[in-house]
Structure 1
Amino acid sequence: MLNNKSSLKRRLQIVELVRKRGEVSVDELSQAFDVSSVTIRSDLTYLEQQRYLLRSFGKARYLAQKSGDDILVPASDAAIRKASETVLARFAAEQVVDSEAVMLGAGEIVHKMIPFLADRTNLSLLVQDVSVAQTVQRFLHCEVLLTGGQLEHGSTVMTGPDAEAAVSRRPIDLCVLQASGVDRDGNLLTADSALARVAQAARRAARRTIVVAFQPVLDERSGIVFASAKEIDTLLIDDGIDPPTMETVMHKGLQLQRRDTGILEFRAS
């Protein structure tokens, strides 16, 4: 019987099973995943809408993907993503201890850490995102400093030489950064070069580095390198990632330390 921890994971497994066999019936899928045919039909409806397969006469048929598409990483439901990001944020917050100087980079997962830090004492936070600083003031009683830097195109995230200098000259016990992807050499990627430069400066200055990511894409074209997996201490990602991404991470200096609540925690070996 196949593992059925979550609807998202089951859907990923369904796509892979249909891809391998070419065509699978609803009854076969129901038995394989130990769920009702109603649940399977709901899964197939979702996957057909996302154009990962076709439904026909009680069966699911594989739909060939366009070049460059990754069949194992469908666009997940917004609610599933929000829930996974919140759990990732909680796990990251658990690694922050009292009296630490912490640099918080840009990203929604990093932002969601703030309420989980409410019981920490004597923290000193250096933040890159103005909206994060505003959330800190709502939930925490601690020192909070902005990196300074440039705000472009209505963004709340500060970048540029001033931001890079700010993280370089301050003592940082821990920096928490968010990745958008991973390349095949095990490098962690972020959205653009300005974000990458600030992240690089923070990683170099910090004693420890945690990187968080929701379904990071295994694709050299999806961002700019800010760190190698060998250069960080902990990587927290959801277990909805595809097997090639997981293998890449494990072959580049990080070992799977914990699998819990749909979250994978990798640590430096």
Structure 2
Amino acid sequence: MTTAKARREEIYRLATTAGLTSVEELSQRFNVTASTIRRDLALLNDEGKLARTYGGALAIGAHPEASLRQRIGEAFEEKQAIAQWAAGQVQAGESILLDGGSTVGALAHALRDRSGLTVTTPAVNTVQELADSPGIHVDCLGGRLRSVSQTFVGPLAEAALERMTFDRVFLGADAVTADDGICEADQAQTRLKELMARRGAAVYVLADSSKLGQRPFHAWVRLPLPWTLVTDDGADPHQITLFREAGIDVEVVSGHKVQEAERSRAS
């Protein structure tokens, strides 16, 4: 009998070579129930190896989901610039929602010394950033932990959101396009982001320029207008035009200013 670990390894191999594989096909191949296959897919998804799609299929490609630890060092100056601009929008007395991800985590870091804020988050890194901030009240959204993104997702997090509203919502993104919105590796994460956007008076998507116009996965967050894309000055002007033509507000910040400030503090 094939062990669960061996079955998941074979599922990963098949999906890597075949691209799309349905739950039904995998169930028949391994002679197990569809629910068993779905559990296998959920585990592989949480490990960042697979990207679930609608209809029970899964897509594995040349773009495995990077872990939060891997993403923190990517486009560092750009993310810091985006985070500083976003922090400048937050006013004392506001209630804000911070999504998961490295760029939103940089925003949490930028807010650590503030006071009079209420921050709600599903993200482990944001909780760690703000745990010792006496002027910030932190509410955590519980649920199922996705280890690869270090965020909580699922029905418990969604139920908690239904009882809250926010002055500002800051969302992260694996990628973002003008026509389809935020691209993510996991459907549960897209569902949560959609609910987050509905609960905010102002919604911002924080995405460095490398993520614009990309489609690495098959799960999408459709955002109702208005919302604001915050990106860096390395963005392709054509991409910026596409977002603005779609009615999306765009803020372009300079990562060079952050680098200059860092050098000034060091000297």
Query: What's the TM-score bracket when you normalise by the shorter of the two chains?
Result: 0.5 to 0.7
Name structure 2 gaps, 5 residues minimum: 1-61, 63-71, 258-267
Among candidates 98, 108, 112, match of residue 104 of structure 1: 98
Say if 2:232 and 2:254, in contact at 8 Å, map to a contact too: no
3-state secondary structure, aligned to 1:158: strand
Alignment check: 8 A CA contact 1:102 1:126 kept: yes
Distance 1:256 1:143 in 2: 30
State how far apart, in whole Å, the 2-side matches of 1:90 and 1:257 are: 12
In structure 1, runs of 5+ residues without a counterpart are 1-67, 69-77, 264-269
1:238 & 1:104 partners in 2: Cα distance? 19
Structure 2 counterpart of 1:204: 198
| Counterpart contact for 2:78–2:255, Cα < 8 Å | no
**Larger Cα Rg: Structure 1 or Structure 2?**
1
When residues 139 and 220 of structure 1 are mapped into structure 2, their CA distance, relative to the original with a 3 A threshold, is same
Which of these residues, 228, 247, 252, is aligned with residue 253 of structure 1?
A: 247
Q: TM-score, normalised by structure 2?
A: 0.62
> What percentage of aligned pairs have identical amino acids?
25
2:184 is aligned to 190
User: In structure 2, what is the Cα distance between the partners aligned to 1:120 and 1:243?
Assistant: 34
List per-residue Cα deviations over 1:126-164 (Å, max 9, x = no partner).
111122112101345321011001014465210001111
1:218-257 equivalence runs, <5 A: 218-228=213-223, 231-256=225-250
Counterpart of 2:76 in structure 1 is 82
Q: Which residue of 1 aligns with 2:151?
A: 157
Q: CA RMSD in A?
A: 2.9
Matches within 5 A, 1:10-89: 81-89=75-83
Indicate how the Cα distance of structure 1 residues 260 and 155 shifts in structure 2: closer, same or farther if over 3 A, else same.
closer
Distance 1:251 1:158, change over 3 A: same
Native 8 Å contact 1:179 1:189 kept in 2: yes
> Quick one: which amino acid aligns to residue 236 of structure 1?
V
Map of 2:25 onto structure 1 = none
Instruction: Normalising by structure 1, report the TM-score.
Output: 0.61
The alignment status of 1:216 with 2:184, answered yes or no, reads no
Give the AA of the match of 1:237.
T
